[in-house]
Homo-oligomer: A and B are copies of this chain.
């Protein structure tokens, strides 16, 4: 089980953005330099974040991105969903009544993985971008 770079970068970039997001948009170039993430890759990620209305873009010179909601209202789970970093623990299709082995009943461990998935998503539900920015400024002092 591991977290992919896409998800990690998305959150990292948004924390960076949230810290500098006052009046002026923040350019991906700056984020790229500060966080050491490839600019081209960031563009892919922000395209998804924009489509899911987590950020807004400002085109042209001096452009960049700004948050589309208050940092408090952006939960980790929203970010992860936006970039398709979903938690997947079961093998089978959830809606289907069939098990992962093709049999008519769910497998011996299906419920366990389902619990696990909920357990992880709870974590993502609770954490907001604001929390992360705060944690970081505290650590700075």
Residues B127 and A112 in contact, CB atoms below 8 Å apart: yes
The stretch of A22-30, A61-69, A84-92 that contacts the partner chain: A84-92
For the complex, what is the distance from the CA of A102 to the CA of B89, rounded to whole Å? 31
Residues B112 and A35 in contact, CB atoms below 8 Å apart: no
Residues A119 and B123 in contact, CB atoms below 8 Å apart: yes
Q: When each residue 1-19 of chain A gets 1 if its CB lies under 8 Å from chain B and 0 otherwise, what string results?
A: 1111101100110011000
The stretch of A43-51, A52-60, A103-111 that contacts the partner chain: A103-111
Identical copies of this chain, number: 2
Contact partners of A37 in chain B: CB under 8 A: 101
A113 in contact (CB, < 8 A): yes
Min distance, Cβ A86 to any Cβ of chain B, angstroms = 8
Query: With A1-B87, A85-B1, A103-B36 in contact, do A8 and B109 touch (Cβ < 8 Å)?
Result: yes
Q: List 21 A–B pairs whose Cβ atoms lie within 8 Å, in order of A's numbering.
A: A1-B1, A1-B2, A1-B85, A1-B120, A2-B89, A3-B89, A5-B91, A8-B91, A8-B109, A8-B113, A11-B109, A12-B107, A12-B108, A12-B109, A35-B107, A37-B101, A108-B132, A108-B136, A116-B123, A119-B123, A120-B120
| 16 other A-B residue contacts (CB within 8 Å) besides A1-B87, A2-B89, A11-B112 | A1-B2, A1-B88, A1-B120, A2-B88, A3-B113, A5-B91, A8-B100, A11-B109, A12-B108, A15-B108, A35-B107, A35-B108, A108-B136, A112-B127, A112-B132, A112-B135
